[in-house]
Amino acid sequence: MQQLAIFGGTFDPVHWGHLIVAETALHQVPIEHVIWVPSLNPPHKQAALFQHRLEMVQKAIADQPAFTVSLVEIYRHGTSYAINTLIDLSTFYPNTHWYWIVGLDTFQTLPRWHRVDELAQLCHWLIAPRLIRGETIAESQSICNQVEQELTKRSIHIHWQLLTIPLVGVSSSLIRDRCRDGQSIRYLVPESVRNYIAKHNLYGS
């Protein structure tokens, strides 16, 4: 049975934080590939055109053969829900043990995800601690325990583990804000992504 990880996100734009998380997962868990899935219509978010976000991910991961980007989202209409992504990818990659990579902030919202009762148990959750409110690793662990307990109360049983990563405070919103303010984003995103943003004048840069 192959071991694959899904890394879903808006990637508006992709940045070094995403890349460090995905690379870490690859080395800390026996997975063969990380499948990046840019969401077409992310719930609760307005985002740049899918085509731009996709191209930036393609450029960012080009030199890592264990990373691949999936277009499953293109063939679906309406809001992008994780459960549909997993079902669709399972038809492309049968006989797979699935992992799902998320940042801590996203994992906290898991109990409210669409059809979480089905989704949560279909994959092993890999959680990246994230500098949001300055949580320590112990606090991150306890947040994950709380999410697990909340789900257990609803008879939803999950497997999860925290990744050990250097905490990186970069976020897509920070990149967008800096572009809007005319500030440099060099060293916050790969050069290929920085050039793409400039060329297409994304985010008011």
Which parts of this chain interact with ligand ATP (CB under 6 A)? 9-12, 17-18, 21, 102-103, 105-106, 128, 130, 168, 170-173
- Order of all β-strands in the sheet with 159-162: 67-69, 33-38, 2-9, 96-103, 124-128, 159-162
- Residue 128 Cβ, how far from ligand ATP at the closest point, in Å? 4
d(CA 160, CA 48): 31
Which one, 104 or 151, has the nearer CB to ligand ATP?
A: 104
Classify strands 159-162 and 124-128 as parallel, antiparallel or unpaired. parallel
Which one, 100 or 148, has the nearer CB to ligand ATP?
A: 100
- Residue 95 Cβ, how far from ligand ATP at the closest point, in Å? 26
Which one, 94 or 166, has the nearer CB to ligand ATP?
A: 166
Q: Cα–Cα distances in Å, from 97 out to 57, 94, 178, 200?
A: 24, 9, 39, 38
- Residue 77 Cβ, how far from ligand ATP at the closest point, in Å? 21
d(CA 50, CA 25): 25
- Residue 78 Cβ, how far from ligand ATP at the closest point, in Å? 19
Q: Which residue is nearest to ligand ATP (CB)?
A: 103
- Residue 105 Cβ, how far from ligand ATP at the closest point, in Å? 5
From start to end of the chain, where are the E strands?
Answer: 2-9, 33-38, 67-69, 96-103, 124-128, 159-162
d(CA 5, CA 75): 20
- Residue 72 Cβ, how far from ligand ATP at the closest point, in Å? 16
Alpha carbons within 13 angstroms on the beta-carbon side of residue 205 total 21
Which one, 127 or 151, has the nearer CB to ligand ATP?
A: 127
Which one, 102 or 158, has the nearer CB to ligand ATP?
A: 102
Which one, 33 or 155, has the nearer CB to ligand ATP?
A: 33
DSSP-assigned letter for residue 110? G
